[in-house]
Amino acid sequence: MAAADLLPADTLARPLRDLRISVTDRCQFRCTYCMPREVFGRDFAFLPREQLLTFEELARLARIFAVLGVRKLRLTGGEPLLRRDLDKLVAMLTAIDGISDIALTTNGALLARNAAKLATAGLRRVTVSLDSLDDAVFMALNDAAFPVAPVLEAIDAAAAAGLAPVKVNMVVRRGMNEQSILPMAARFRHTGHVLRFIEYMDVGTTNGWRLNEVVPAAEIISLIGEQWPLDPAAANYPGEVANRYRYRDGGGEIGIIASVTQPFCRGCTRARLSADGQLFTCLFAGAGHDLRGPLRAGATEEALRELVTGIWARRADRYSEQRTRDTNRAKPRPKVEMSHIGG
């Protein structure tokens, strides 16, 4: 059966095009907006190895998603480079018919030593998280005493390996790092890399999210535009989550991911696969759908395709459009933690 015959559309007519694959729920950072140490402390029970999908299982599921229309894969975590021999998985995914793009999101701590072999294996792009150029601010956010310099070195190593332009993600949280917006913009102008500012989001239930800590996209654009005038740019592809802006002086571009103030649910084409084989149809979902069970029980390719198609066909998620209603609830609904399914 041709892939075009199998493409599922959800209840809002959104196709499935992008799959984010978490390969581990572990991370060596304890970023306050993702894995706060008071929750993810020394006694926190991470997934045991036997519950993680093997590389072979991940590749098999990726092939099924490719038949269903997925064209882009992104490896996430936790911190994905904590998964040993990740380049071997990249090589397996690269060999799948229909997959045109494989990317990686990382905190950068282990990227410099792995960039070259990942690129050789077929990795096309990399996104590195960096929330400030100030060591004190950055370390307060990552809560792991990890300084800025190695992350900058990792970005250079990724570019040298052919993974350029590198995307650099900065989560902006009021009272923590909004003073770092202009220095970050100045640092990455004229480098060819793309700095993207992300509004602080209420992913999961452990990060203590409050609406008044969100620095709106409009404020970020105004601040940067006063220093270096900007013009909006068209999206690179349908469903792109970042709004693009170009510097008028030719200094490159920035992106703004404004899930809170400018929701983009209606164009969302993403699914997320957790490291233990749960399929989530929204970053803010409260529960996933088990694929590991049927996979390990010997389900056929056809059965797995039908399972995924049915899940996506019922999808009605649009949490960001409904956030205000949910935020005002006396008891907010449960949401999966970002460290479990990737950003």
Residue 2, pLDDT score? 47
* Residue 104: partners with Cβ closer than 8 Å, 6 or more residues away: 74, 75, 76, 80, 81, 118, 123, 125, 126, 127
Residue 208, pLDDT score? 76
Q: Is the pLDDT of residue 254 over 50?
A: yes
What does the domain layout of the chain look like in residue ranges?
A: 3-341
Q: With pLDDT > 90 as the criterion, what percentage of the chain qualifies?
A: 78
Average pLDDT value over all residues in the chain: 92
Q: Is the pLDDT of residue 192 over 50?
A: yes
pTM of the prediction?
0.93
Residue 266, pLDDT score? 87
Residue 7, pLDDT score? 65
pLDDT tens-digit map of 194-253: 999 999 988 767 777 888 899 999 999 999 999 999 999 998 887 788 999 999 999 999
Two tokens at 304?
């797995």
Q: What is the third-level CATH fold of 3-341?
A: TIM Barrel (3.20.20)
Q: Which residues pair with 256 in a beta bridge?
A: 197, 243
pLDDT tens-digit map of 18-46: 999 999 999 999 999 889 999 899 999 99
Residue 233, pLDDT score? 95
Going through the chain in order, the beta strands assigned E by DSSP cover 18-22, 72-76, 101-106, 125-129, 167-172, 194-199, 230-233, 243-247, 253-257, 270-273, 278-280, 289-290
Query: Which DSSP category does 201 fall into?
Result: -
| pLDDT tier, 265 (very low <50, low <70, confident <90, very high otherwise) | confident
